[in-house]
Amino acid sequence: MGIVYNEKCRTLTLQTRNTSYQMKIGNLDYLLHLYYGPSVCDADMSYQIRQYDRGFSGNPYESRNERTFSLDAQPQEFSTQQQGDFRTSSIEVVNSDGSYSFHGKVTDYQIQKGKYRLDTLPTVFAREKDTVDTLQITLTDQISKVQVILLYSVFEEADIITRAVRVVNEGTASIRLKKIMSVCLDFLNGLHMDLVSLPGRYGQERQVERQHMTHHIHTIGSVRGSSSHQQNPFVILCDRDATEDHGNCYGFSLMYSGNFLAEAELDQYDQLRLVMGIHPKQFDYELKPQEIFEGPEAVMAFSRDGFTGLSHLYHDFYRTNLCASKYVTEIQRPVLINSWEAAFMDFDDVKLLEIAKAARKMGVDLLVMDDGWFGKREDDNSSLGDWVVNKDKIRCGLDHLVEEINKLGMKFGIWFEPEMVSEDSDLYRAHPEWTMEIPGRRAVRSRNQMALDMSRKEVQDYLITSINQILDNANIFYVKWDINRSLADIWSNVLPAERQGEVYHRYILGLYRVMDGIIKTHPDILFEGCSGGGGRYDPAMLHYYPQYWVSDNNHPIDRLKLHYGTSFVYPVSTMGAHISDSGKLVPLRTKAVVAMCGTFGYELDATHLTEEEQKLCKEQSELFQKYYPLIFKGDYYRLTNPFEPGNMTAWQHVSKDRNEALLSVVVTNLTCNGPQEYIRAKGLIPDVMYSVNGSKEAHSGSALMNAGIPIEREVPEYTAFQFHLKKQEQTVNA
């Protein structure tokens, strides 16, 4: 069983295939954290905690004259509030008498088969073949009667542990929740650990930064109303000497699309605490008696095999247990062309058909009609919210346009931006109160659009009805769901003044309800997420979308870094990647090689390509379809780091049986009379012979991994290479 309670030691141990996680109902019924790491067999790890008088560290009153027990130094599973622990907290409660205090002790625990669920937030799920157990621990404050219920699910085969939290007001008066973390994890010594995060900006999302832990609070988070371009709700704590292939790595991935916070604090005793959850900025949530608040789920993984080992755990798990869409594993996704960079908003039905006919010659299966098809939309100053077809552009009618596209043997897709509204729109003129605007103040504009108050049920209902009406009246195969601004002017006209601190979170809850009402009611439609590119690329979004647009930056050389950073946690199968006109000096074939590290498609005007270019695109589309199972289902390896000096960037896809691999290289820095370069493969079987690109010449897996493949030297700038490695019948000793 994945969860075991030892009554004698009062320990609770969570076991996956390769890891152990242990906590203890300790002194005075406080819940103490003991261990997370490589599997330990039938061990009570409480011997690690050394209790002694720390001097000026407060002691709980119940400990009487015993000065050796202080919560300021104990490794806790969920830290208390105002009980002598001065480190970053897991919770902040304002009780009915105005006091700030939560004194939580263990009053109950339950072990159950299967995966817990949250009523208000998306979570990962268990498949029938998964071995999953759930632990529920109740911490109760005996004075206020506030309960915190800690939820853990153990996915044994996947080496994954998920965590979530519920706050239940069992008292007789209302409380206010001002901070709630889904994860609190204490390490007894974190002095020689590093923190890895994925910061960025618009067009340069999920870059990789690594910092040594110092005696400060290291803070990563977003207060933009979404998980954001600037940060991602994913962090790694790792050994100082951890590399791609070696070293202990702990991953924390938060399933939440709004404001989030991760704090890592190295304390006075070199103990390290990491907390992660909803950002407390402008968060003030009232809980009346018997009401429940749910915090988002966090997905935790541990690997002793470096960043690659950790990435493989997340990739495998998120490919199978995050999104239920049939396009994740059952149906191969089509090669698409999007109208945005081909025509922007200057198109009509005739232009779209011309693009589709030209794209069909390129092996494209799906035409996507992007922004500009609705209301009176001619530029980005009007019509958001008016989800009715612009008859001046689509003169033949949407259903007829889709039929004409289908006659070409192609599928049809459409773009929406549901959460936004233009001032110049019928929707705003009818319902100005539906927007986020602080009374008496002019709202901040971004891209000349305003945010709808997604916390309002009537707004949610309007979006569900109007968008479903479009989807249900034409043969729509694909939807691109976009959001192109951060939130400001946080205010809801339906909440009283004292509850405006709930708006950020209620917005996200409303968004999830809308997605439930549109995406989950259309299982035959392939949905792709977008937020000005990759500005809301998080696990909760990927619960709904099997793929997400990595970035609006399509330059293939920039994309090397974008794909590299994104791959630390998110599988290649989620990464929207296209060929575009961006990067004029980069060969078309190189653009295709880069786009194959993702969903593959085009963002250009196919009617402007020469016959030779269309033929090359068709060859690349067919090549992507050929390698699709390898790219989407295989193990992904980062062979080089594009953030470090070097002459090329390389990556590799390896089939699960290790019989086949695709190794890709892009030359990024040509030097005069440069040295001979070699790329070493990974993940192959050492004593098996592999052919390279179908040639009769074969090399052993050990040779390819240790000596490498020589890269041709005298090539044009930004040349790309692909090496298809295929297992041969003979072995090295044959």
Provide the pLDDT for residue 731.
72
Structural domains present in the chain: 3-321 (2.70.98.60), 336-628 (3.20.20.70), 648-731 (2.60.40.1180)
* Collapsed DSSP state (helix, strand, coil) of residue 398: helix
- Would you say 210 and 307 are in contact if contact means Cβ atoms under 8 Å apart? no
Helix (H) or strand (E) holding 607: none
Percent of residues, the chain, with pLDDT higher than 90: 93
Residue 56 banded pLDDT, cuts 50, 70, 90: confident
Rounded to whole angstroms, the Cα distance separating 643 from 210 reads 12
DSSP label at residue 434: G
Integer angstrom CA distances of residue 588 from 91, 243, 615, 651: 53, 33, 11, 19
- Would you say 73 and 57 are in contact if contact means Cβ atoms under 8 Å apart? yes
> Could you tell me which residues are beta bridge partners of residue 140?
105, 147
- Rg over CA atoms, the chain: 27
Provide the pLDDT for residue 94.
98
DSSP label at residue 567: T
CA atoms within 13 A on the CB side of 472: 11
Provide the pLDDT for residue 55.
82
- Would you say 329 and 320 are in contact if contact means Cβ atoms under 8 Å apart? yes
| Beta strands, E only, 105-159 | 105-113, 132-140, 146-155
- Would you say 638 and 615 are in contact if contact means Cβ atoms under 8 Å apart? no
Provide the pLDDT for residue 733.
62
Q: How many CB atoms lie within 10 A of CB 136?
A: 16
* 734, pLDDT greater than 60: no
Q: Which amino acid is at 253?
A: S
How far does CA 612 lie from the centroid of its chain?
39
With a CB cutoff of 8 Å and minimum separation 6, the contacts of 460 are 454, 510, 513, 514, 517
- Would you say 254 and 221 are in contact if contact means Cβ atoms under 8 Å apart? no
* Collapsed DSSP state (helix, strand, coil) of residue 292: strand
Give 57-63's long-range contacts (Cβ < 8 A, gap of 24+).
57/84, 58/83, 58/84, 59/84, 60/28, 60/30, 60/84, 62/28, 63/27, 63/28
With a CB cutoff of 8 Å and minimum separation 6, the contacts of 188 are 48, 49, 75, 271
Average pLDDT over residues 89-106: 96
Provide the pLDDT for residue 580.
97
CA-nearest of 131, 257, 285, 304 to 515 is 257
Residue 728 banded pLDDT, cuts 50, 70, 90: very high
Integer angstrom CA distances of residue 408 from 198, 339, 411, 460: 42, 17, 9, 36
Integer angstrom CA distances of residue 278 from 186, 255, 409, 418: 19, 10, 46, 24
Mean pLDDT of the chain: 96
Residue 585 banded pLDDT, cuts 50, 70, 90: very high
Average pLDDT over residues 333-345: 97
Q: Which amino acid is at 195?
A: L
* 182, pLDDT greater than 70: yes
Rounded to whole angstroms, the Cα distance separating 716 from 700 reads 30
Q: Which of 538, 552, 603, 635 is catalytic?
A: 538
* 459, pLDDT greater than 90: yes
Average pLDDT over residues 175-199: 98
The yes-or-no answer on residue 558 being catalytic is no
Residue 1 banded pLDDT, cuts 50, 70, 90: low
Q: What is the pLDDT of residues 482-522, one digit of tens each?
A: 999 999 999 999 999 999 999 999 999 999 999 999 999 99
Q: What is the pLDDT of residues 288-310, one digit of tens each?
A: 999 999 999 999 999 999 999 99
Residue 613 banded pLDDT, cuts 50, 70, 90: very high
Q: Which of 426, 613, 619, 677 is catalytic?
A: 613
Rounded to whole angstroms, the Cα distance separating 634 from 655 reads 4
Provide the pLDDT for residue 60.
86
CA atoms within 13 A on the CB side of 675: 6
Q: Which amino acid is at 283?
A: F
Q: At what angle do helices 611-633 and 588-595 cross, to 10 degrees?
A: 20
Rounded to whole angstroms, the Cα distance separating 408 from 410 reads 5
Q: What is the pLDDT of residues 666-723, one digit of tens each?
A: 999 888 888 899 999 999 999 999 999 999 889 999 999 999 999 998 899 999 999 9
CA-nearest of 701, 503, 580, 532 to 337 is 580
The yes-or-no answer on residue 714 being catalytic is no
